[in-house]
């Protein structure tokens, strides 16, 4: 265990843990957009900006991907930290002015937000879907394209690998803006423009999961397909 100073409080911290975990443990309200406890940190939105003393100098850092260090001093409530978060929210709002999730975050952080009825549900490049697909589902059907040398870094997009996707819909559930569309029609689920045939529960007859997802679960767990033909409610 090491000790850090957080808004003047001495806090014991596990080496390797992130600043955000200690900030949350003290019930300090810090906005986040690209962070999820079950996923690797990404540091994309910068909404979680705090001030950290490095080599005797206060600097802005993102709490979600900054590991604690012995003797570290952290300020979440300084003028500069608050201004850093507001600036991050302003930049997001400037880029995605018609996306409700962004507008709500920006407004909460004191950005003047113009009235807008529609919700554009744009992709804000938070990376939650790509990381969920890769790190939790274990499929890696989603990735950022237009990244890397010589690429247009201003316009990265999500690349979808239809052959790898099992139609589980995790990306749609985790997306904070509603950009990932998932539709159900009859015994089909359409996601990222790919249609998946849904398996029908052998007890109640309702479609309950994409067949590709059940095959994936069977292959990963060794549970035979014959035992995956009943929905959760009928088990
Ligand atoms: S599609 Fe949604 S979850 Fe994926 S990067 Fe864009 S905003 Fe984030
Ligand atoms: S939540 Fe920390 S950078 Fe997005």
Ligand 1, residue 144: give the atom nearest the CA.
5
Say how far apart CA 155 and CA 21 lie, in whole Å. Answer: 31
Smallest CA-to-CA distance from 230 within 202, 209, 211 is with 202
Residues 213 and 162 in one domain: yes
- 30 in contact with ligand 2, CB cutoff 6 A: no
For 135-150, the pLDDT digits (tens) are: 999 999 999 886 555 5
Residues 94 and 61 in one domain: yes
Residues 100 and 140 in one domain: no
Residues 152 and 210 in one domain: yes
CATH number at residue 27: 3.10.20.740
CB-based burial label for 98 (10 Å; 0-12, 13-18, 19+): middle
Ligand 1: residue whose CA is nearest its atom 3: 175
**Contact predicate 32/47, CB 8 Å:** yes
pLDDT tens-place values along the chain, 235 residues long: 999 999 999 999 999 899 999 999 999 999 999 999 999 999 999 999 999 998 899 999 999 999 999 999 999 999 999 999 999 999 999 999 999 999 999 999 999 999 888 999 999 999 999 999 999 999 999 998 865 555 555 566 899 999 999 999 999 999 999 999 999 988 999 999 899 999 999 999 999 999 999 999 999 999 999 999 999 899 8
Ligand 1: residue whose CA is nearest its atom 4: 129
Tally of domains in the chain: 2
Of 62, 101, 128, the one to substitute when testing ligand 2's pocket (max ligand atoms within 8 A of C-beta) is 62
Smallest CA-to-CA distance from 81 within 31, 15, 40, 12 is with 31
Long-range pairs, 216-222, Cβ under 8 A, ≥24: 216/139, 216/166, 216/168, 220/138
- 105 in contact with ligand 2, CB cutoff 6 A: no
* Residue 209 DSSP SS3: strand
Q: Is residue 114 part of a domain?
A: no
Is the pTM here over 0.75, yes or no?
yes
Say how far apart CA 144 and CA 44 lie, in whole Å. Answer: 13
């Amino acid at each position: 265990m090491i000790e850090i100073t957080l808004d003047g409080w001495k806090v014991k911290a596990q080496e390797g843990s992130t600043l955000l975990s200690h900030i949350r443990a003290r019930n300090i309200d810090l906005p986040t957009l690209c962070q999820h406890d079950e996923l690797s940190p990404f540091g994309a939105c910068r909404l979680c900006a705090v001030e950290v003393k490095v080599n005797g100098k206060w600097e802005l850092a993102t709490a979600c991907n900054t590991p604690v260090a012995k003797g570290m001093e952290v300020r979440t409530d300084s003028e500069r930290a608050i201004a850093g978060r507001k600036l991050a929210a302003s930049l997001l709002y400037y880029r995605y002015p018609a996306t409700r999730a962004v507008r709500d975050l920006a407004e909460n952080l004191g950005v003047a937000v113009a009235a807008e009825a529609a919700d554009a549900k744009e992709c804000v490049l938070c990376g939650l879907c790509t990381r969920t697909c890769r790190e939790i589902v274990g499929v890696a059907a989603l990735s950022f394209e237009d990244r890397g040398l010589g690429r247009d870094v201003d316009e990265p997009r999500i690349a979808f690998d239809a052959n790898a996707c099992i139609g589980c819909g995790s990306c749609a559930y985790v997306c904070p803006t509603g950009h990932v569309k998932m539709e159900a029609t009859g015994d089909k689920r359409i996601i990222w423009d790919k249609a998946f045939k849904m398996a029908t529960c052998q007890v109640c007859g309702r479609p309950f999961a994409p067949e590709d997802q059940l095959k994936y679960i069977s292959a990963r767990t060794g549970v035979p397909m014959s035992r995956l033909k009943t929905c959760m409610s009928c088990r």
